[in-house]
Structure 1
């Protein structure tokens, strides 16, 4: 029987590579676009949602059209983020593994540019790049695009949303006028249409479904809650879906980190992904998510571009995006490759208008859902545990030697008592948490209490009763706030729930801890080191400073940020920590004001 990809015109070498990857049948976008692109004589516009197989739709034709005996760039693929850049590069390398001499290079920011230049000099036929780094290499005159025959603009709408219009113009100006341009996008805003007019001549346009619509395999739900209950609502949704494997979207980097930290402290397997992380940290987080060793990825819109992870069950919009078109990209993280998924929005009553706007954009109605009660969550968790026990695979050979001792331990218990105790191991935690749990739902007609305004970041606030602590570890040690939280909890032998706000700096950090846990933390950090360096933790609250750890102690009193410099000289002016983590001098001006760098608002 002839392979369906062969019927589309794909060569045996590539078809065999596709079969090894487990692909048997082309997706609709591949089936429609590959024959057109294989002709190599037309510009092309393809509109399809994320997760529909666009990479193979343009990657497979490129492998058929390029002459791999020539070691010069013949195709350029531009995409908005480094994650998507790496994903596309990996896919095309897998497709071309049986083609002699094929070389694909990824060019993106946050990585060693010297290594990327070395790979280009060695000879490459396909360059996959983010616009900023590509422009940097062009300006160094380190690449020659005179032989480029094909340019692919993937996720074109997102590149424009991220402000890459001028970069794209500059890059395309270095390519031949007779090249063919293939544009792929999930939505078709006017800016994308303008690119098609400026850089294409009578393009073939293919639309899978209606323009700008969402994936038909995704259910869309919204929950209305008070702003102050948003975090509690998130936890309840997660608890009601025991097998959830999802992405939670926040609006800002700060909110992303804070939500992730609070989830970690509350015992959830979560971590944050945002633009302030180094490439190494981002790779580490994404690898954990791909391996499913992490259940919840908390991300900003920009950081999540190009996340291509199979079997994501839920996308949760902790905050709605500023641009309603961005909702299509968020929800597209689930329901990929023909699977089903759920996209959830946690909103307050004043955001209903935005839900109606999104409905018009995606052409689908949202379902208003009610948050489950505490009883509902406990019941769901109990039977999920029962189902897991019922279906667990028993390793008879290994467990047989322990059965006599196990039976002896349970000899005084009836079958019913054994079942109750196994179920209670996990179930008691939920019973305790959801005892007398309030109803968090708000009706659509309710416009908020006392003129409640929709929050802009829905920060999770700490209670009183915390002490501020200093630690001589920070971002230069490749710590994220989640890493620092784990380090402090593991070595301090304390629960994550005892830790409040964390301010990660360069070579040091601050964190809040419950007053009752301070002495135990300091005692447990008497002889802790990190990579051979003594770790120092000190109390920064008013009064005499306590200190424990393997590093030296300078004996200074600390007042929420006041400290000696690492060189041993006192820094000029008493510094006091502001609520935004900045410092102030005697003149009352913030550091940002002194250097003219004060931001007008929170960074996103």
Structure 2
């Protein structure tokens, strides 16, 4: 296999990669680094998340910039604060033996004053999120006139988040840009349009098929009714006792509600969504990275740019509306040569969407039965036994207590001790699952037995879950409103014929209404009109902001989906 030394990197960079334990480059690094060092002006690198794209552009960048000039020469644009900090951390590690090189992160949610001070000290590489960078440009706190290199990382995610206008503004403000490098996991048409406008005959490097999923990830799906989605989620978590994963929901309300329910039931979980302040978000992410949390539940927007090693499972509580989003979700696991599992909880009517996703990611999806209560208990017991046997007892300081333990348990058999240990660990668990119903949908009779079994087992508690069932059903009947749902559905007479695609339409309605992305659920776009799912509390604000406005000489009409003629 080829080594970093053979890619043409200078000695200081090879030494830094060696110190980090890197010997052989990944596929994207092997192809991109020599091309960039040898003068490729414009380059498109397509590779899945977690394949080492930062080193693919970071190492050539460190080699090519003028290390003696203390002004911004290179600009790396990325979608989120987390990714921004991660890129800076990696580039800082690569420049270990280049003491005159400085790299600075600028991003929202942190003191702009401190970031301005960092820029004034002199810096060659600036890593920025689009919003904060534009803020600095408008304050004249950063000058892009000398920028020669512009790198767009996770370009597809930036466009999904509605940053297209911001990216174009930034590119227009780098007048002497000589090199434009774009890295992305997928290649939607919107990115193709940006590359045609701002890049000249770019070299294209593709590692694996475009938009395909990581081959180290196994894709599974479980079919149940909307009413039993939450119960199925619990069953899947319990069936995978060593799980360290992310659960994706469509809305922030789902993320918060499910996190609260699971926390009350003893699960080690927290939520990540748009209502969190930056310090709260940092606290949640630190706990998850430290593995103080076993599970993180997040919306797609809130999870942008998260890069955490060792994630074993991704659970799709619901399938995403945009099938390309599935690639990003599942790509959080199976990184750095490790294997991972992507689990999806689906309704029987979602089989068409499932086939669409399967076609795009070019990977087989395996239909699995939802585990029975007995299977879950067996799996938990096996995990507990392995954990018990593999405990490192040599490093503990129990020797002083052993005589007391031996005396206390002198008349207790080994069998009884094991039984007592198991009761201590599993009593509540076993009682919960002893009469667990079958959650698999097989036929009409099976669905009735699901409901009857749940009612018999849960008794009075079943009444408290009716709201959850109603909410699940209301989502399936989109765009009809349901009084028990937290979401309203709005109709608007704008569609793809008006020149919108989903990301640009999302940005347009949020800009007009001054609302956050997290208040939105699904967006269903047609040629002439669209339906928008939105938090009921924000629905009136959006209608008042948009209804009656003009778009290209046409009056916009927005109202409750039920009221339209």
Indicate the residue corresponding to 1:254 in structure 2: 253
| CA displacement 1:36-82 (0-9 Å, x = unmatched) | 01123421001101011111111111111111211111110111111
Comparing 439-448 and 272-281, the one that deviates more: 439-448
In 1, Cα distance between the equivalents of 2:343 and 2:542? 41
Indicate the residue corresponding to 1:76 in structure 2: 75
CA 1:130–1:229: 2 relative to 1, 3 Å = same
Indicate the residue corresponding to 1:549 in structure 2: none
In 2, Cα distance between the equivalents of 1:594 and 1:197? 36
In 1, Cα distance between the equivalents of 2:267 and 2:333? 20
Indicate the residue corresponding to 1:322 in structure 2: 321
Indicate the residue corresponding to 2:122 in structure 1: 123
| CA displacement 1:344-376 (0-9 Å, x = unmatched) | 110110111110000111011200001110000
Indicate the residue corresponding to 2:42 in structure 1: 43
Is the partner of 2:341 in helix, strand or coil?
Answer: strand
Indicate the residue corresponding to 2:51 in structure 1: 52
Indicate the residue corresponding to 1:482 in structure 2: none
Q: How does 1:405-554 map to 2 (within 5 A)?
A: 405-443=404-442
In 2, Cα distance between the equivalents of 1:338 and 1:396? 31
- For the Cα contact (< 8 Å) 1:68–1:100, is it kept in 2? no
CA 1:405–1:193: 2 relative to 1, 3 Å = same
In 1, Cα distance between the equivalents of 2:445 and 2:179? 54
Q: How does 1:284-363 map to 2 (within 5 A)?
A: 284-363=283-362
- For the Cα contact (< 8 Å) 1:74–1:125, is it kept in 2? yes
| CA displacement 1:443-501 (0-9 Å, x = unmatched) | 4999988xx9xxxxxxxx987689xxxxxxxxxxxxxxxxxxxxxxxxxxxxxxxxxxx
- Tell me by how many angstroms 1:97 deviates: 2.2
In 2, Cα distance between the equivalents of 1:181 and 1:205? 12
Aligned pair 1:279/2:293, yes or no?
no
**Number of equivalent positions:** 474
Is the partner of 1:71 in helix, strand or coil?
Answer: coil
Aligned pair 1:100/2:131, yes or no?
no
In 2, Cα distance between the equivalents of 1:194 and 1:594? 31
Indicate the residue corresponding to 1:20 in structure 2: 19
CA 1:379–1:600: 2 relative to 1, 3 Å = farther
| CA displacement 1:59-114 (0-9 Å, x = unmatched) | 11111111121111111011111111111111111111221122111111111111
CA 1:104–1:444: 2 relative to 1, 3 Å = farther
In 2, Cα distance between the equivalents of 1:409 and 1:36? 71
Q: Which structure 1 residue ranges, 5 or more long, are not aligned? A: 453-460, 467-502, 504-579, 584-589
Q: Looking at secondary structure, tell me which structure has more helix per residue.
A: 2
Indicate the residue corresponding to 1:548 in structure 2: none
CA 1:442–1:591: 2 relative to 1, 3 Å = closer
Is the partner of 2:49 in helix, strand or coil?
Answer: coil
In 2, Cα distance between the equivalents of 1:387 and 1:165? 51
- For the Cα contact (< 8 Å) 1:386–1:423, is it kept in 2? no
Indicate the residue corresponding to 1:243 in structure 2: 242
In 2, Cα distance between the equivalents of 1:382 and 1:73? 58
- Tell me by how many angstroms 1:122 deviates: 1.0
- Tell me by how many angstroms 1:149 deviates: 1.3
Indicate the residue corresponding to 2:369 in structure 1: 370
In 1, Cα distance between the equivalents of 2:445 and 2:43? 48
CA 1:327–1:447: 2 relative to 1, 3 Å = farther
- For the Cα contact (< 8 Å) 1:349–1:448, is it kept in 2? no
Indicate the residue corresponding to 1:472 in structure 2: none
- Tell me by how many angstroms 1:16 deviates: 2.5
- For the Cα contact (< 8 Å) 1:49–1:215, is it kept in 2? yes
In 2, Cα distance between the equivalents of 1:266 and 1:241? 16
Indicate the residue corresponding to 2:204 in structure 1: 205
Q: Which structure 2 residue ranges, 5 or more long, are not aligned? A: 452-459, 466-485, 487-534, 548-557
- For the Cα contact (< 8 Å) 1:349–1:447, is it kept in 2? no
CA 1:429–1:22: 2 relative to 1, 3 Å = farther
CA 1:339–1:593: 2 relative to 1, 3 Å = closer
CA 1:462–1:255: 2 relative to 1, 3 Å = farther
- Tell me by how many angstroms 1:176 deviates: 2.6
Is the partner of 2:76 in helix, strand or coil?
Answer: strand
Of structures 1 and 2, the larger Rg is shown by 1
In 1, Cα distance between the equivalents of 2:244 and 2:400? 36
- Tell me by how many angstroms 1:162 deviates: 1.1
Aligned pair 1:191/2:203, yes or no?
no
In 1, Cα distance between the equivalents of 2:223 and 2:447? 10
- Tell me by how many angstroms 1:591 deviates: 9.6
- Tell me by how many angstroms 1:140 deviates: 1.1
| CA displacement 1:118-145 (0-9 Å, x = unmatched) | 1111111111111111111111111111
In 2, Cα distance between the equivalents of 1:7 and 1:61? 13
- Tell me by how many angstroms 1:262 deviates: 1.0
CA 1:321–1:448: 2 relative to 1, 3 Å = farther
In 2, Cα distance between the equivalents of 1:206 and 1:396? 50
CA 1:307–1:462: 2 relative to 1, 3 Å = farther
In 2, Cα distance between the equivalents of 1:447 and 1:302? 37
In 2, Cα distance between the equivalents of 1:355 and 1:445? 22
Comparing 332-341 and 390-399, the one that deviates more: 390-399
- For the Cα contact (< 8 Å) 2:46–2:210, is it kept in 1? yes
Is the partner of 1:221 in helix, strand or coil?
Answer: strand
Aligned pair 1:10/2:9, yes or no?
yes
Q: TM-score, normalised by structure 2?
A: 0.79
- For the Cα contact (< 8 Å) 1:224–1:444, is it kept in 2? no
In 2, Cα distance between the equivalents of 1:582 and 1:71? 50
